[in-house]
Amino acid sequence: MSFGLKILALVVASLTMASAMAQTWSLSGDYATNANPNGAWRYGEYVSGSFSPLAWNAGTNSYGVGAVGNTFVYQNTGGILAYGIQPGEISLESDWGNAAVRWTAPSTGSFDFIISTGGLLANSGGGYGNNFALSGVVKVKGTNQTVTTVTNNSTFKINTWVFSQTLNLGDTVDAVVFNPAPANGGNTQTRFTVTQAVPEPASMAVLGLGVAGLLRRRAKKA
């Protein structure tokens, strides 16, 4: 193998190992009861333009009180679609307020985001969901982001944001579903994933040692 190919092979191997170390956060996958804050996640609502956390309520199995006249965040723990929320997914219930989830950067770096609000306008248990999806916003450090795609027809309503962002430790990204009018269909499915590629220090060291060794051997031959 030529010197150039050896270098290329080491670089590819190192990048592959670094890629394997990518860290991912998932709103549904990370969701935990009675834990607010929950790692990088916060569950709450927007009040007077500011994020406010909601306390866990064991009686309604939700952050906030899962009842008429309240704003709350919950996970569909059943095995079937309910109020437009797929099994295992998270709902921001904004019939009487502005439900929100907040992700806080645990370190400085570049992060990839895929966020969507909305889903099927499906009836279940006397109500339906995702009616307020088009009132959803994503805020990075308090600034509204541009929606990437919008689907709005008689079957489903979905807003989607796909973007990359360099953040400092402690910077926030919020997904919010605002209550635009009367209380009706406020259950809103929200999907929120974040990925950061984290280089593995050991792989970087291996690359450096390998390159140094090849350079020494090449110098001796010369």
Q: Is the CB of residue 174 less than 8 Å from the CB of residue 138?
A: yes
Estimate to the nearest angstrom the gap between the alpha carbon of 209 and the chain centroid: 37
By C-alpha distance, which of 86, 88, 61, 59 is closest to 73? 61
Beta-carbon contacts of residue 86 (< 8 Å; ≥ 6 apart)? 76, 119, 189
The predicted pLDDT at position 26 comes to: 98
Contacts (Cβ under 8 Å, ≥6 apart) of 160 = 114, 115, 116, 147, 148, 149, 150, 151
Please identify every stretch of the chain with a pLDDT value under 50, giving residue numbers as ranges: 3-8, 10-19, 202-209, 211-212, 214-215, 218-219, 222
pLDDT given for residue 12 in this prediction: 43
Question: Can you give the pTM of this predicted structure?
Answer: 0.81
219: helix, strand or coil: helix
Per-residue pLDDT at 127: 74
